[in-house]
């Protein structure tokens, strides 16, 4: 599945860059994150609770930040396995100034397998877009100091 999403955050590029690379922010903003533990610089062990339709479960895996080009872009990659199946994906996030804010454009690909793929394949794009909207809304609240 391929996904593109763009969102404007009402803060300067440098501030958005710092926040998007902060592990504590990622832990609070990424939907379903139960645990995000630093294993090495820009590499994390992750435990997530995710589900599609009636197929829900806990996934354990890794997430890493690579190809950093401050404050313009980076690649976020991850993979996880759990009882409902497996998931693997990557996204390139590009930050550009727009007015007084920052446009974050994410382009990525994800793959899923196992039970979750059979049940939820038709709904995956909508769910991924919804999760991205939730993520950006949480980041905006964090940037605004609300949470």
Q: Are strands 2-9 and 101-113 parallel, antiparallel or unpaired?
A: antiparallel
Domains of the chain: 2-143 (3.30.530.20)
Contact 73, 94 (CB under 8 A): yes
Report pLDDT for 130. Answer: 85
Report pLDDT for 54. Answer: 65
Q: Is the pLDDT of residue 95 over 70?
A: yes
pTM, two decimals, is: 0.88
Contact 111, 89 (CB under 8 A): yes
pLDDT in tens, 67-78: 999 999 999 999
| Average predicted confidence (pLDDT) for the chain | 90
pLDDT in tens, 29-65: 998 899 999 999 999 999 998 766 666 789 999 999 9
Cis check: omega of the bond before 71, within 30 degrees of 0? yes
Report pLDDT for 134. Answer: 92
Q: Is the pLDDT of residue 90 over 60?
A: yes
Mean pLDDT of 85-89: 90
């Amino acid at each position: 599945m391929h996904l593109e999403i763009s969102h404007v955050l009402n803060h300067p590029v440098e501030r958005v860059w710092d926040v998007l690379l902060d592990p504590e922010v990622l832990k609070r903003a990424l939907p379903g994150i139960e645990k995000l533990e630093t294993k090495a610089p820009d590499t994390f062990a992750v435990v997530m609770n995710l589900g599609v339709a009636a197929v829900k479960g806990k996934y354990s895996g890794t997430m890493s930040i690579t190809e950093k080009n401050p404050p313009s872009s980076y690649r976020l990659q991850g993979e996880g396995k759990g009882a409902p199946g497996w998931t693997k994906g990557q996204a390139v996030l590009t930050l550009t100034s727009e007015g007084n804010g920052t446009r974050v454009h994410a382009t990525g690909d994800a793959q899923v397998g196992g039970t979750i793929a059979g049940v939820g394949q038709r709904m995956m794009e909508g769910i991924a877009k919804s999760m991205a909207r939730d993520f950006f809304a949480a980041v905006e609240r964090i940037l605004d100091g609300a949470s």
